[in-house]
Structure 1
Amino acid sequence: MNPPPKPLPVQGREAVLRYDRADFDIVEGGDHVRCAVSGKPIPLERLTYWSAELQEAYANAALMTQRWVETHGRS
């Protein structure tokens, strides 16, 4: 049995994703997601940083680190 097809990207619409540790699944089609820290749109083809734990995306490594410190504190 084949898995269900993934939703196609919809131009100009924000996608809904389910983030796993190594990849993500598209729940609702779109062409971008929003950075959880900056609020800026991130094209899906450039999405590199996210948190499976918090289920959110980040525009770059610095913003991902900033969010980690905010949620986990410094050790």
Structure 2
Amino acid sequence: MSSSTTWTVTGMTCEHCVASVTEEVGEIAGVTGVQVDLSSGSVVVTSDQPVSREDVSAAVDEAGYQLV
């Protein structure tokens, strides 16, 4: 059963930002999909099992942005 969680990321200003966040979050074990909405800053993470806030935060930090 897949789960979907929505997070908010600050600091994204362009499509390159979206691509960076999508790539880093997509590398988390179990993640099957990442949808980033630049205008709202929302990041929807779909995964095989729930993904921890710590994992998402670390991936977003690695991309150069901040999880709210």
Task: Answer yes or no: same fold by TM over 0.5.
Answer: no
Q: Which has the higher contact order (CA 8 A, sep 6+)?
A: 2
- Higher helix fraction (1 or 2): 2
Bigger Cα Rg? 1
